[in-house]
Amino acid sequence: MNNRRTALLASIALTGGAALAATLGPAAHAAAFDPCSAVGQGRLRYGTGTATHLVLAISSDYSSNYVTVTECVKKGRSWTKVAEVPGRAGLNGFAQPGGKREGDGKSPTGSFTFTEAFGMANPGTKLAYRTLRDSGDCWGATPGQSHYNDYYSGTCRPADENLSSLMQLGSYRQAAVIDYNRPKAVPGHGSAIFFHVGGRGPTAGCVAIEEDALRGILRTLAPGDRMVMGPRSELFRS
Protein backbone atom coordinates (compact mmCIF):
# COMPACT_ATOMS: atom_id res chain seq x y z
CA MET A 1 0.00 0.00 0.00
CA ASN A 2 2.65 2.51 1.00
CA ASN A 3 4.79 1.92 -2.09
CA ARG A 4 1.82 2.57 -4.36
CA ARG A 5 0.71 5.60 -2.34
CA THR A 6 4.23 7.04 -2.30
CA ALA A 7 4.59 6.53 -6.06
CA LEU A 8 1.31 8.32 -6.68
CA LEU A 9 2.21 11.22 -4.41
CA ALA A 10 5.66 11.48 -5.97
CA SER A 11 4.04 11.60 -9.40
CA ILE A 12 1.78 14.44 -8.25
CA ALA A 13 4.80 16.35 -7.00
CA LEU A 14 6.80 15.83 -10.19
CA THR A 15 3.97 16.88 -12.48
CA GLY A 16 3.25 19.98 -10.42
CA GLY A 17 0.24 21.19 -8.47
CA ALA A 18 -1.41 23.56 -10.94
CA ALA A 19 -5.13 22.89 -11.40
CA LEU A 20 -5.45 23.15 -15.16
CA ALA A 21 -9.14 22.80 -15.85
CA ALA A 22 -8.55 21.82 -19.44
CA THR A 23 -6.75 18.65 -18.32
CA LEU A 24 -8.93 17.63 -15.41
CA GLY A 25 -11.62 15.70 -17.23
CA PRO A 26 -15.40 15.71 -17.40
CA ALA A 27 -16.25 15.96 -13.69
CA ALA A 28 -14.61 19.38 -13.53
CA HIS A 29 -17.02 20.59 -16.19
CA ALA A 30 -20.22 19.03 -14.86
CA ALA A 31 -23.53 20.71 -15.53
CA ALA A 32 -24.23 23.68 -13.29
CA PHE A 33 -25.07 22.46 -9.81
CA ASP A 34 -24.69 24.45 -6.61
CA PRO A 35 -24.03 21.95 -3.79
CA CYS A 36 -24.05 24.72 -1.18
CA SER A 37 -27.59 25.68 -2.12
CA ALA A 38 -28.56 22.00 -2.11
CA VAL A 39 -27.20 21.64 1.45
CA GLY A 40 -29.33 24.60 2.54
CA GLN A 41 -32.37 22.99 0.93
CA GLY A 42 -31.90 19.86 3.06
CA ARG A 43 -30.94 17.65 0.11
CA LEU A 44 -27.64 16.46 1.59
CA ARG A 45 -27.96 12.89 2.87
CA TYR A 46 -25.17 13.33 5.43
CA GLY A 47 -24.98 15.40 8.60
CA THR A 48 -22.97 18.60 8.93
CA GLY A 49 -22.65 18.60 12.72
CA THR A 50 -21.37 21.91 14.11
CA ALA A 51 -19.57 22.87 10.90
CA THR A 52 -19.71 26.46 9.69
CA HIS A 53 -17.58 25.61 6.65
CA LEU A 54 -18.01 22.57 4.42
CA VAL A 55 -15.67 21.28 1.75
CA LEU A 56 -17.50 19.08 -0.75
CA ALA A 57 -15.54 16.82 -3.11
CA ILE A 58 -18.09 15.53 -5.61
CA SER A 59 -17.56 13.04 -8.43
CA SER A 60 -19.90 12.05 -11.23
CA ASP A 61 -20.03 8.40 -10.07
CA TYR A 62 -18.23 5.84 -7.91
CA SER A 63 -15.70 4.93 -10.59
CA SER A 64 -14.53 8.49 -11.29
CA ASN A 65 -11.52 10.05 -9.56
CA TYR A 66 -12.24 13.51 -10.97
CA VAL A 67 -13.97 15.75 -8.43
CA THR A 68 -15.28 19.26 -8.14
CA VAL A 69 -14.23 20.69 -4.78
CA THR A 70 -16.57 23.35 -3.41
CA GLU A 71 -16.24 25.33 -0.19
CA CYS A 72 -19.46 26.46 1.48
CA VAL A 73 -19.94 28.80 4.45
CA LYS A 74 -22.98 28.76 6.72
CA LYS A 75 -24.90 32.01 7.04
CA GLY A 76 -27.92 31.63 9.26
CA ARG A 77 -29.73 28.58 7.93
CA SER A 78 -28.35 28.84 4.43
CA TRP A 79 -25.04 27.79 2.88
CA THR A 80 -23.19 30.03 0.43
CA LYS A 81 -20.50 29.07 -2.08
CA VAL A 82 -17.09 30.55 -1.31
CA ALA A 83 -14.89 28.83 -3.87
CA GLU A 84 -14.96 25.99 -6.40
CA VAL A 85 -11.99 24.25 -8.04
CA PRO A 86 -11.30 20.98 -9.86
CA GLY A 87 -9.46 18.20 -8.03
CA ARG A 88 -8.74 14.51 -7.90
CA ALA A 89 -9.66 11.62 -5.59
CA GLY A 90 -8.50 8.01 -5.30
CA LEU A 91 -7.12 6.20 -8.34
CA ASN A 92 -10.06 3.76 -8.27
CA GLY A 93 -12.71 6.36 -7.48
CA PHE A 94 -14.87 6.17 -4.36
CA ALA A 95 -15.74 3.24 -2.11
CA GLN A 96 -19.35 2.52 -1.26
CA PRO A 97 -20.30 3.93 2.18
CA GLY A 98 -18.54 1.76 4.76
CA GLY A 99 -16.64 -0.14 2.08
CA LYS A 100 -13.25 1.59 2.16
CA ARG A 101 -10.33 -0.80 2.82
CA GLU A 102 -6.58 -0.37 3.14
CA GLY A 103 -4.84 -0.45 -0.23
CA ASP A 104 -7.94 -0.39 -2.44
CA GLY A 105 -6.99 2.91 -4.09
CA LYS A 106 -10.41 4.35 -3.31
CA SER A 107 -11.53 7.43 -1.42
CA PRO A 108 -14.10 6.95 1.36
CA THR A 109 -17.63 8.23 0.86
CA GLY A 110 -19.29 10.24 3.62
CA SER A 111 -19.06 13.27 5.90
CA PHE A 112 -15.93 13.61 8.03
CA THR A 113 -14.64 16.27 10.40
CA PHE A 114 -11.41 18.21 10.15
CA THR A 115 -9.48 18.57 13.41
CA GLU A 116 -5.83 18.98 12.41
CA ALA A 117 -3.50 19.92 9.57
CA PHE A 118 0.19 19.74 8.76
CA GLY A 119 2.80 20.93 6.30
CA MET A 120 5.76 23.24 5.84
CA ALA A 121 4.25 26.21 7.75
CA ASN A 122 0.85 27.22 9.09
CA PRO A 123 -1.03 29.15 6.38
CA GLY A 124 -3.34 30.66 9.01
CA THR A 125 -5.72 27.82 9.78
CA LYS A 126 -7.54 27.46 13.09
CA LEU A 127 -7.07 23.69 12.94
CA ALA A 128 -4.36 22.26 15.20
CA TYR A 129 -1.30 22.53 12.98
CA ARG A 130 1.89 20.46 12.89
CA THR A 131 4.92 21.93 11.14
CA LEU A 132 6.77 18.99 9.60
CA ARG A 133 10.51 18.56 9.97
CA ASP A 134 13.03 17.46 7.36
CA SER A 135 12.74 13.92 8.74
CA GLY A 136 11.09 11.93 11.48
CA ASP A 137 7.41 12.68 10.90
CA CYS A 138 5.35 9.57 10.14
CA TRP A 139 1.76 8.36 9.75
CA GLY A 140 0.79 4.79 10.56
CA ALA A 141 -0.70 2.83 7.66
CA THR A 142 0.01 -0.72 8.81
CA PRO A 143 -3.07 -2.53 10.18
CA GLY A 144 -2.40 -4.04 13.60
CA GLN A 145 0.62 -1.86 14.33
CA SER A 146 0.80 0.97 16.84
CA HIS A 147 -0.27 4.41 15.63
CA TYR A 148 -2.43 2.94 12.88
CA ASN A 149 -4.07 5.91 11.16
CA ASP A 150 -2.32 8.39 13.43
CA TYR A 151 0.82 10.50 13.59
CA TYR A 152 4.02 9.32 15.23
CA SER A 153 7.56 10.64 15.46
CA GLY A 154 10.74 8.66 14.84
CA THR A 155 11.85 6.24 12.17
CA CYS A 156 8.98 5.56 9.79
CA ARG A 157 8.15 1.90 9.26
CA PRO A 158 8.50 0.78 5.60
CA ALA A 159 4.74 0.39 5.09
CA ASP A 160 3.86 3.66 6.80
CA GLU A 161 3.82 7.18 5.40
CA ASN A 162 6.93 9.32 5.63
CA LEU A 163 5.26 12.71 5.94
CA SER A 164 8.57 14.58 5.93
CA SER A 165 9.69 13.02 2.66
CA LEU A 166 6.34 13.55 0.97
CA MET A 167 6.34 17.20 2.08
CA GLN A 168 9.67 17.67 0.33
CA LEU A 169 8.26 16.03 -2.80
CA GLY A 170 5.40 18.53 -2.73
CA SER A 171 2.17 16.70 -1.92
CA TYR A 172 2.30 17.43 1.81
CA ARG A 173 3.50 21.01 1.59
CA GLN A 174 0.02 21.59 3.01
CA ALA A 175 -2.55 19.03 4.12
CA ALA A 176 -5.57 18.70 6.38
CA VAL A 177 -6.42 15.39 8.02
CA ILE A 178 -9.83 14.05 6.98
CA ASP A 179 -11.13 12.19 10.02
CA TYR A 180 -12.10 9.01 8.22
CA ASN A 181 -11.63 5.91 10.44
CA ARG A 182 -10.55 8.15 13.31
CA PRO A 183 -10.07 8.55 16.23
CA LYS A 184 -10.87 4.90 16.96
CA ALA A 185 -9.35 3.30 13.88
CA VAL A 186 -10.59 -0.09 12.72
CA PRO A 187 -7.54 -2.03 11.44
CA GLY A 188 -7.64 -2.51 7.70
CA HIS A 189 -10.46 -0.05 7.03
CA GLY A 190 -8.14 2.60 5.61
CA SER A 191 -5.70 5.23 6.81
CA ALA A 192 -3.98 8.50 5.91
CA ILE A 193 -6.90 10.14 4.16
CA PHE A 194 -5.83 13.75 3.66
CA PHE A 195 -6.85 16.89 1.79
CA HIS A 196 -3.54 17.81 0.20
CA VAL A 197 -1.63 19.50 -2.61
CA GLY A 198 -2.05 18.05 -6.10
CA GLY A 199 -4.95 18.09 -8.49
CA ARG A 200 -3.51 16.86 -11.78
CA GLY A 201 -3.24 13.14 -11.07
CA PRO A 202 -5.25 10.69 -8.95
CA THR A 203 -4.39 9.97 -5.32
CA ALA A 204 -4.18 6.81 -3.23
CA GLY A 205 -7.49 7.70 -1.54
CA CYS A 206 -7.11 11.35 -0.55
CA VAL A 207 -8.57 14.50 -2.12
CA ALA A 208 -6.09 16.83 -3.83
CA ILE A 209 -6.30 20.33 -5.30
CA GLU A 210 -3.72 22.90 -6.35
CA GLU A 211 -1.75 24.53 -3.55
CA ASP A 212 -2.98 28.12 -3.66
CA ALA A 213 -6.61 27.01 -3.53
CA LEU A 214 -5.84 24.61 -0.68
CA ARG A 215 -4.12 27.31 1.32
CA GLY A 216 -7.12 29.57 0.87
CA ILE A 217 -9.51 26.91 2.16
CA LEU A 218 -7.24 25.96 5.07
CA ARG A 219 -7.27 29.56 6.29
CA THR A 220 -11.05 29.37 6.76
CA LEU A 221 -11.22 25.99 8.51
CA ALA A 222 -11.75 25.45 12.23
CA PRO A 223 -12.17 22.26 14.29
CA GLY A 224 -15.52 20.63 13.53
CA ASP A 225 -15.71 21.83 9.94
CA ARG A 226 -16.24 18.98 7.50
CA MET A 227 -15.25 17.28 4.28
CA VAL A 228 -18.23 15.73 2.50
CA MET A 229 -17.02 13.48 -0.32
CA GLY A 230 -18.35 11.00 -2.82
CA PRO A 231 -20.54 10.67 -5.92
CA ARG A 232 -23.23 13.29 -6.32
CA SER A 233 -26.04 10.72 -6.47
CA GLU A 234 -24.93 9.27 -3.12
CA LEU A 235 -24.44 12.59 -1.36
CA PHE A 236 -27.58 14.41 -2.50
CA ARG A 237 -31.24 13.67 -2.89
CA SER A 238 -32.63 14.69 -6.27
Query: Per residue in 100-136, pLDDT tens?
Result: 999 999 999 999 999 999 999 999 999 999 999 999 9
> Got the DSSP string for the chain?
-HHHHHHHHHHHHHH-----GGGS-GGGGPPP--HHHHHHTT-BSS--TT-SEEEEEEESSTT--EEEEEEEEEETTEEEEEEEEEEE-BTT-BPPTT---TTS--BPPEEEEEEEEEESS--S-SSEEEE--SS-EEEB-STTSTTBTSEEESSPPTTSEEHHHHHHHTTTSEEEEE-TT-SSPPTTS----EEEE--SS-BSSSEEE-HHHHHHHHTT--TT-EEEEEEHHHHB--
pLDDT category, 208, cuts 50, 70, 90?
very high
Mean pLDDT of 211-219: 98
Determine what percent of the chain is predicted with pLDDT higher than 90.
Answer: 85
pLDDT at 4: 57
How much is the pTM?
0.88
- Choice between 186 and 32, residue whose per-residue pLDDT is larger: 186
